[in-house]
């Protein structure tokens, strides 16, 4: 499926962002259900645009707008992202094309980026499979690293893709430095 990233303008897209954030639930995010006030605070706080953030609507062919992604830490050599798909578009194979579109954007528009990173909860199997299929490698697992409202924390799993892997179309395996042989 073809995916297009359309830049978000907080001024122009304010109402659409509020609707999207309040009409969908996000079970694998820290804030699973956002209020209008939560959405307004995110917009006013610069979550979707600014020197360190870039937000994009995700358009998927004839389906149209299916979600959004925000790139964070744009001044760093390793930007991160937040991805949210509308409830009705989850489970339809959008994860890999969205990750590829984001990766292409990062490595073609941010020359200092040498790697691109993402995190998810350990139980978000669909996202973890999407990471792998899009060429990302699991680099870390942080036990009890993901807060869960009203429940025990979950493990947070970190993935990344390197610019050189994106350029070559290969995946560099992890090289564990273990001089003690542990």
Quote the tokens at residue 19: 């609707």
Which pLDDT score, from 0 to 100, does residue 33 have?
82
Residue 175 lies in a domain: no
Which pLDDT score, from 0 to 100, does residue 65 have?
95
Range of the domain at 84: 3-168
pTM across the whole model: 0.92
Residue 138 lies in a domain: yes
Which pLDDT score, from 0 to 100, does residue 150 have?
86
Residue 59 lies in a domain: yes
Residue 178 lies in a domain: no
Quote the tokens at residue 140: 């870390």
Please count the structural domains in the chain: 1
Residue 177 lies in a domain: no
- Whether the CB-CB separation of 6 and 69 falls below 8 Å is answered with no
Query: What are the residues whose beta carbons fall under 8 Å from the beta carbon of 142, sequence distance 6 or more?
Result: 155, 156, 157, 158
**Placement of tokens 């060429």 in the chain:** 135
CATH number at residue 53: 3.40.630.30
Is the alpha carbon torsion for 73, 113, 26, 64 positive or negative?
positive
Strands 151-162 and 115-121: antiparallel
Which pLDDT score, from 0 to 100, does residue 29 have?
84
Which pLDDT score, from 0 to 100, does residue 41 have?
94
pLDDT along the chain (182 residues), means of 10: 93 95 90 88 92 95 94 94 95 95 97 96 94 95 91 94 95 69 54
Residue 11 lies in a domain: yes
Which pLDDT score, from 0 to 100, does residue 176 have?
65
Which pLDDT score, from 0 to 100, does residue 141 have?
94
Q: In angstroms, how far is the first alpha carbon of the chain from the final one?
A: 44
Rounded Cα gap, residues 135 and 99, in angstroms: 9
Residue 179 lies in a domain: no
- Whether the CB-CB separation of 79 and 113 falls below 8 Å is answered with yes
Rounded Cα gap, residues 160 and 118, in angstroms: 6
Residue 173 lies in a domain: no
């Amino acid at each position: 499926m073809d995916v297009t990233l359309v830049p978000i303008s907080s001024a122009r897209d304010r109402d659409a962002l509020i609707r999207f954030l309040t009409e969908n639930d996000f079970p694998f995010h820290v804030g699973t259900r956002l209020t209008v006030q939560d959405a307004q605070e995110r917009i006013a706080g610069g979550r979707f645009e600014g020197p360190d953030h870039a937000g994009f609507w995700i358009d998927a062919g004839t389906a149209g707008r299916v979600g959004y992604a925000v790139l964070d830490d744009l001044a760093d050599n390793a930007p991160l992202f937040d991805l949210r798909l509308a409830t009705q578009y989850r489970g339809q194979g959008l994860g890999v094309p969205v990750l590829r579109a984001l990766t292409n954007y990062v490595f073609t528009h941010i020359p200092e980026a040498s790697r691109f990173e993402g995190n998810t909860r350990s139980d978000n199997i669909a996202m973890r499979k999407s990471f792998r299929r899009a060429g990302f490698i699991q680099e870390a697992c942080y036990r009890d690293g993901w807060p869960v409202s009203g429940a025990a924390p979950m493990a947070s799993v970190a993935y990344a893709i390197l610019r050189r892997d994106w350029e070559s179309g290969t995946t560099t395996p992890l090289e564990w430095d273990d001089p003690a042989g542990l």
